[in-house]
Amino acid sequence: MGMFAHRAIETVDEAQRRAKKLLPHDVYTALEAGSDGGATMKENLRAFEEIGMIPRIGAAIPTRLDLSATFMGQPIDLPVVIAPAAAQAMHPDAEIGVARAAQRAGTAIGLSNFASVAIEEVTRENSKSFAHVYWSGGRDVVADRIERFRQAGVKGLIFTLDLSGGRVAYQPRDWGSPVYPDRLNFAALLRYAPMAIGNPSWFLRYAKRRVIPGLNAPNMSRRGGPVPTLVGGLYEWMDTAIPTWEDVAWLRELWGGPFMVKGLVAADDARRAVDAGATAVGVSNHGGNNLDTTPSPLRFLPSVVRAVGDQVEVTLDSGVRRGTDVLKALALGASSVMIGRPWFYGLAADGERGVYEVLETFRGTIERALVGLGKSSIRDVTVDDLVIPNGFILDPAPESARASRAVAQEK
């Protein structure tokens, strides 16, 4: 093995360290930071650490462990799915590399509405591609995009509601919010030149391929229409009224296929999603990028599963970093998990190969955890394998909340 042999990424933390070293400060900060003070982002990680696991010894473990699962009706070989997020300025492989890596790992990809490559390119690379939708532009515009996604051959829609439009969508951060250029004119090049100078490895990736970081949002365009810039797409979204449950039901009926409502934590919202026709719900707080100080979705997961888990698939994201995290979520009732920042770290560290290696770190750590638990399948892991602190699980049902307030008022 030569002195310049590739060193594989073995953990998500390692991918994060490489990403921080390679990326310009502004790009890395935009990736890593949560909204406001970042309390929710930190809580997402801490919640997984609060649950313990009980090792078992002496169990007969087969050579081949069963990690197969389903995501919105699609069989997957790994219960870890690529969450929709826009790969702006991470690596020239962009979402095409992410789609290929997920296909190779045997899992699915959700492609962001604000992705830097078109949905048609992604569905050619990954047979289990899902289109992510924001409520942007009103019903006529959304309907046109949905028909485009249908023609592209996506397997289902992921409709995110926890970070919806309106001017309130903008999320200030205590450490500074990212500023996206509308286009790379002379002024923008002059402003961002220090990024290239200070991060030559990142810049050379693009220079060698004679491309620039994606600044367009091709999946925000209407069929046959011009491709908006990322900033233009963001403004359209922010200028659109926040969707209601009636809009959710309308979109579900229009689509007619597998349909996830993503971005909820409360059981009553999960029931409303099912009433509106959802076939899956995504328990999520947007990775800490919405309402700061929101508790981890992991704390709400059991109450959502109790409410709707016998009717629809339940998936979880926000704070998943290793195989033990995945198994904890599955034991609490999720059918799969989605990851956002981990695949970003892998993409930033080494493009398509980095994303694949991050996915394989999850496979490896899930397998090691299964052996430690004395299990041969992810379906064998239950709450009996966990140590859950008192008060960890939250169930913010309106009825119980009203009753608690009434008792408090009486006192």
| Catalytic positions | 286
The tokens of 138 are what?
Answer: 């009103």
The residue among 329, 343, 351, 363 whose CA lies nearest residue 67 is: 363
The residues, ordered by sequence, that sit 6+ positions from 336 with a Cβ below 8 Å of its Cβ are 69, 70, 71, 76, 79, 80, 81, 313, 315, 330
Q: How far is CA 156 from the centre of its chain?
A: 15
The tokens of 15 are what?
Answer: 């991918």
What pairs with residue 262 in β-bridges?
160, 282
The residue among 134, 67, 122 whose CA lies nearest residue 93 is: 122
Q: Quickly tell me which residue has 């200070």 as its tokens.
A: 198
In angstroms, the CA 376 to CA 359 distance is 20
According to DSSP, the β-strands at 52-53 and 386-387 are antiparallel
According to DSSP, the β-strands at 313-316 and 109-111 are unpaired
Phi and psi torsions of 405, nearest 5°? -65, -40
Extended strands (E) in 226-351: 259-264, 280-283, 313-316, 336-339
Contact 291, 300 (CB under 8 A): no
The tokens of 324 are what?
Answer: 């033990």
Contact 312, 281 (CB under 8 A): yes
| Maximal C-alpha separation, the chain | 75
The residues, ordered by sequence, that sit 6+ positions from 148 with a Cβ below 8 Å of its Cβ are 119, 222, 223
In angstroms, the CA 272 to CA 163 distance is 17
Contact 362, 78 (CB under 8 A): yes
Beta-carbon neighbour count of residue 138 at 10 Å?
13
